[in-house]
Amino acid sequence: MKVLIACEYSGVVRDAFRAQGHDAMSCDLLPTDKPGPHYQGNVCDVLNDGWDLMIAHPPCTHLAVSGARHFAAKQASGVQDEALAFVRVLLDAPISRIALENPISIISSRIRKPDQIIQPWQFGHGETKATCLWLKNLPKLTPTEIVTGREARVHRMPPSADRWKLRSITYAGIASAMAEQWNLNQ
């Protein structure tokens, strides 16, 4: 199966699909953090390359409700509308199966509600971080390992130069569930 992981620099989801034997490539404006197939550039450049599945992680900076206090300025400057337009491009891509991932955001009110909301603690990580999934021709993810000891570690990260980057990495348990459960070759 040919899989595009859009807006991913970490390689976590890409590598989970590659571990299942798929031809998976990540794509981001940033270079990849881990060696592996990666296109550094605009994902729109590769959307028409015959993918069977795309998992997209569009930047949440101008979308997430955690930054709602800044929405008026983001709307006035047009950056929020640009971010929503990019989400629409990804959801409308010529790919038969799509999962778009983002935190609780205005995508829900401005485009459509998510098909599913998952938490890291449902996939082996003792943390909370509500993650929405907008799905096209894919089943909802089934939890693989519900754990206790849940804390909001990501939400409480102290300020740092790379805080935004650390907060955006997909949990390995969620990536593995995607690769195992969305395996179209089965």
Q: Which residues contact 114 (CB under 8 A, 6 or more apart)?
A: 107, 108, 132, 133, 134
C-alpha span between 72 and 75 (Å, rounded): 5
Q: Which residue has the higher pLDDT, 83 or 62?
A: 83
User: Residue 47: what pLDDT?
Assistant: 97
* Statement: residue 33 has pLDDT above 60: yes
Please state, rounded to an integer, the average pLDDT across all residues of the chain: 87
Q: What is the pLDDT of residue 168?
A: 66
- Alpha carbon distance 152, 68 (integer Å): 19
> 30 has which bridge partners?
none
- Tens of pLDDT, residue by residue over 109-162, are 889 999 999 999 999 988 888 899 999 999 999 999 999 877 766 666 556 666
- Those residues whose C-beta lies under 8 Å from the C-beta of residue 184, and which sit 6 or more positions away, are 1, 52, 53, 97
Per 3-state DSSP, what percentage of the chain is helix, strand, and coil (rounded to 5)? 30, 20, 45
CA distances from 84 to 58, 89, 118 (A): 10, 9, 21
* Residue 178 DSSP SS3: helix
What is the pLDDT at residue 169?
76
Query: What's the whole-number mean pLDDT along residues 15-21?
Result: 97
pLDDT surpassing 60 at residue 163:
no
Domains of the chain: 2-181 (3.40.50.150)
What tens digit of pLDDT does each residue of 38-70 get? 999 999 999 999 999 999 999 776 576 565 555
